[in-house]
Amino acid sequence: MKADYKNWVPKGMIYGLVAGTGALGAGLAAALVLTKDAPAPVRIGVNAVLGLGTAACGKAAQWSVYAYNQFSYNGKRRMSKQIIEGIAEYVILPEGGTGLDVGCGSGALTIACAKRNPEAGMVGVDRWGKEYASFSKQLCESNSRAEGVDNTSFVQGDAIHLDFEDGTFDAVTSNYVYHNIAGVSKQEPLLETLRVLKKGGTFAIHDIMSEGRYGDMQAFVDILRKKGYEKVHLIPTDDGLFMTKTEGKRLMLTGSTLLVGRK
Ligand SMILES: C[S@@+](CC[C@H](N)C(=O)[O-])C[C@H]1O[C@@H](n2cnc3c(N)ncnc32)[C@H](O)[C@@H]1O
C-alpha cells in the first residue's frame, strides 16, 4: 500500500466549481432565450450577471485544476513534496525527544520529520474540519503504516489552544496552517506553537507570512531575539527555494516564508 497524502486543493472544491460553471452556463443559455422579448434593462441585467458569474466560476475551476496538478504527489511538479521535505530538513530532534506538527492534515510533514528522526517521536495535531474533508486522523495513521513509520501519533486539537503544557516538545513545525484561521492575528497561533516548545528546542514554521495576514514579521523576530531565542530567521521560500516567483503568484502563495530558530 502506498501513502496517499491527498491534495491541498480538495477534489470536492474542483467538482463544485466545474458543476457551478456548468449550471451557470446552462442558466445563461436559458436566460438568453427566455429574456429575448423582455425589456432591455432586465435582459441586459440578467444576462450580464449570469455571464460574469459563469466566467468567474470557470476561471476559479481552471485555477483549482492547475493548483491541484502542481501540488499533486503523483504529478510532474510535486510542489507539496518539495515543500514538506524542505521544511523537514530544519526539524532536528534529540534521541528520545518528541516533535509537534501543528495542522498535520494527511500527516505528510509529521511523517517526513519522523523518518528523518527515527530515534525520536512526532505528534501531529489537526482539527480535521469540514474545509479539508479528505484529511483525517485515520488517513494520517494509514499513511504512517504505508511509509513503514512507527514513531508517529496523531491527535485532534486546535492550533489556537494547543492541549499541551508549556515546553512539552523538543521541536515544533507547521506548514500552511495559520493563514486558514480566521478572526485572529496570525501571530497568535505562532506564539501558541512556541509556547509548547522546550527551551533549546528548534522550530520551523512555514506559511504565507504576508504583512496583510501576519503584520510586521521582522518586528516579531526582533521580539523573539530579545526574549533570548537564537538563530531566528525569516527565509523567503517563494523566490526559488520551494517555488519560483511566477509559481508563487499563480498559486496565490506569494509571501511564503519559513520562520526558523531555537528557543
Ligand atoms: C493546507 S492544509 C496543510 C496540511 C499539512 N500541514 C500539509 O502540509 O500537508 C491546512 C491544514 O490546517 C488545518 N487547520 C486549519 N485550522 C486549524 C486549527 N485552528 N487547528 C488545527 N488545525 C487547523 C486543516 O484542518 C488542514 O489540515
Average pLDDT score over the chain: 96
Cα 96 to middle of ligand 1, angstroms: 26
Residue 87 near ligand 1, beta carbon < 6 Å: no
Beta strand 197-208 pairing with 169-175 = parallel
HSE-CB at 93 with a 13 A cutoff on CA atoms is 29
Cα 176 to middle of ligand 1, angstroms: 7
Nearest CA owner, ligand 1 atom 13? 103
Give bridge partners of residue 83 from the DSSP assignment: none
Q: Does domain 79-262 have CATH number 3.50.50.60?
A: no
Domain boundaries, the chain: 11-71, 79-262
pLDDT of 144-169, one tens digit each? Answer: 999 999 999 999 999 999 999 999 99
Return the ∠ at Cα 113 (arms to 209 and 94), rounded to 5°: 110
**In this predicted structure, what is the pLDDT of residue 14?**
94
Residue 8 near ligand 1, beta carbon < 6 Å: yes
Secondary structure of the chain: what % helix, strand, coil (to 5)? Answer: 45, 20, 35
**In this predicted structure, what is the pLDDT of residue 179?**
94
* Positions of the chain with pLDDT under 70: none
* Cell (9 digits) for 112: 517526513
**In this predicted structure, what is the pLDDT of residue 1?**
86
* Cα gap 71→181, rounded to integer Å: 21
Cα 95 to middle of ligand 1, angstroms: 27
Cβ neighbour number for residue 43 with a 10 Å cutoff:
16
User: In testing the pocket of ligand 1, which one of 4, 127, 191 has its CB within 8 Å of the most ligand atoms?
Assistant: 127
**In this predicted structure, what is the pLDDT of residue 184?**
87
**In this predicted structure, what is the pLDDT of residue 167?**
98
* Cα gap 212→75, rounded to integer Å: 32
Ligand 1 atom closest to the CA of 108, numbered from 1: 9
Cβ neighbour number for residue 13 with a 10 Å cutoff:
18
> Which DSSP symbol is given to 130?
G
* Cell (9 digits) for 8: 491541498
Which residue matches cell numbers 501558541? 192
**Is the distance from CB of 179 to CB of 186 less than 8 angstroms?**
yes
Query: Counting beta carbons within 10 angstroms of the beta carbon of residue 161, is it exposed (0 to 12), middle (13 to 18) or buried (19 or more)?
Result: exposed
How many residues does this entry show for the chain? 263
**Is the distance from CB of 42 to CB of 186 less than 8 angstroms?**
no
**In this predicted structure, what is the pLDDT of residue 187?**
94
